[in-house]
Structures are given as structure tokens and as C-alpha cells.
Amino acid sequence: MLVSAGGDLGAAPPPGVAAEAAYAEARARMVREHLVARGITTPRVLEAMGRVPRHEFVPAELRSRAYEDGPLPIGHGQTISQPYIVAFMTEALEPKPTDRVLEIGTGSGYQAAVLSRLVAGVWSIELVEPLARRAAADLKRLGFTRVKARCGDGHLGWPEAAPFDAIIVTCAPEEVPPALVAQLKEGGRMIIPVGSQWGAQELVLLRKTPAGLERKPVLPVRFVPMVKGRR
């Protein structure tokens, strides 16, 4: 082996550096092949998807699959949504830098992390306490300080922080919860999957106007059900 006076120029990078470089490459490929190629066009959304480390939000044994375009289990019967759906819902919400956003269904924390790069603040609620604790810890560890997370019933929203410019729901109720509509500002947007656990579900974009809610079905989907907490 040839070694220069300054050291081994062919030495491999430390394992951590090599792994992060591989993840960054996989993330860039995800953006090109699964987002841009399928019609996601908003530069800010693409930049956020290209920067947030999805592998940090999945179980360690699944990190090699973190940038595939599919959901992955995160425990307790829940999943992290596929990257395309995360990007699609984020883009549909038209996030602005000054927005205050409510998220129902923190799950792994990944969607909240993506949104936090695009808006002023994210308030995120998760019903399953172990998931809520883990997501809050991961978001703090990774420096996503614009996210406030807590355990609670998403049907009730976060009234003391309302009103919100936008609301994103990552679990499917059979009907849009009235409390969430009440906590949405006039002119605000809500993206939410609606439908039965066993039947058809539709991703719906709502806009709150003086005349009421404008409702636009945008995509057939399959989400875990939105469960009510104990009262």
C-alpha cells in the first residue's frame, strides 16, 4: 500500500461519516425519484424533504429502508407515512414561514420535523403515550425546536394554542372533528384523510371561508384510524 508523507490518502472515512454520506445520497435519490418524478414541485417542500433525516425517525433495524417510498412500522400498531404522502400533504397545505400549524398524529415525529423547516411553529398531538414521548425526545435530540409535542386526544385539538393557520391530520377519522374546524383560522387550510378503517378513505383539503368549509377531495389513501382517548 502506498502511503504519502502526509498519511494514507486512500483511507476510508470514519464509519459515522460514511453512513451519514450514504443516508444523504439516499435522501437526494428519494427526492428525485419519488417526489419530483411524481409531481412534487414546491422548492421549499423539496428542500425540507431533502434535509430532514428520515432514518432518525424509524427503528434502528429499519434504517436501511428509510428512504424507500413506503410506510414503515414504528411500533404500537402505527406507521411512519411514505415520503411521497408526507411531501404531498405538506405541499397541499401551502405552508408559509409565518404559519402556526397544528398536527394531529405525531407518530414518529417525521412530518412535524418536515413542517418545522417551513413554518413558524408546529403544535403536535399524539394519543399513544410511548410514541409521544419518543417523538418528543427525537425532535429535541435532532434540534427541531419549533415543534411543541404532547400526548392527548387529537379530536380535541390544542385549544389554548388556537387558532391555527393550518392543520394537518395524519390519521383517519370517519368525519372531520368539529373542534379542529373551530380551531382553524378563517382562510386557513386543513389536510385530513377521512373514511372508515375498513372502507374507502379520501385525503381531503379543507379551506375555512366566511361562508363555511370548502371541501376538495384530492387523493385516495390508507391511514391508521383516528382513535378517541379516554374521557
Q: Which helix (H) or strand (E) holds 139?
A: helix 129-141
Number of domains in the chain: 1
Cβ atoms < 10 Å from Cβ of 14: 9
Does residue 228 sit within a domain?
no
Domain housing 208: 71-221
pTM to 2 decimals? 0.90
* Residue carrying the nine cell digits 419519488: 34
Burial of 99 (0-12, 13-18, 19+ CB in 10 A): buried
SS3 content of the chain, % helix, strand, coil (to 5): 35, 30, 35
CATH number for 111? 3.40.50.150
Q: Residue 17: is its pLDDT beyond 90?
A: no
Does residue 51 sit within a domain?
no
What is the length of the chain? 231
Does residue 202 sit within a domain?
yes
Summarize pLDDT for 56-95 with one digit per residue, the tens.
Answer: 999 999 999 999 999 999 999 999 999 999 999 999 999 9
Cα–Cα distance measured from residue 217 to residue 220, given in angstroms and rounded to the nearest whole number: 8
Selected residue with higher pLDDT from 225 and 62: 62
Cα–Cα distance measured from residue 44 to residue 134, given in angstroms and rounded to the nearest whole number: 27
Does residue 130 sit within a domain?
yes
Summarize pLDDT for 85-138 with one digit per residue, the tens.
Answer: 999 999 999 999 999 999 999 999 999 999 999 999 999 999 999 999 999 999
Does residue 116 sit within a domain?
yes
Q: Residue 154: is its pLDDT beyond 90?
A: yes
Is 84 in contact with 34 (CB distance < 8 Å)? yes
Does residue 55 sit within a domain?
no
Q: Which of 64, 81, 108, 116 is catalytic?
A: 81
Helix (H, G, I), strand (E, B) or coil at 189: strand
Summarize pLDDT for 172-186 with one digit per residue, the tens.
Answer: 999 999 999 999 999
Does residue 172 sit within a domain?
yes
Decide if 81 is catalytic.
yes
Does residue 183 sit within a domain?
yes
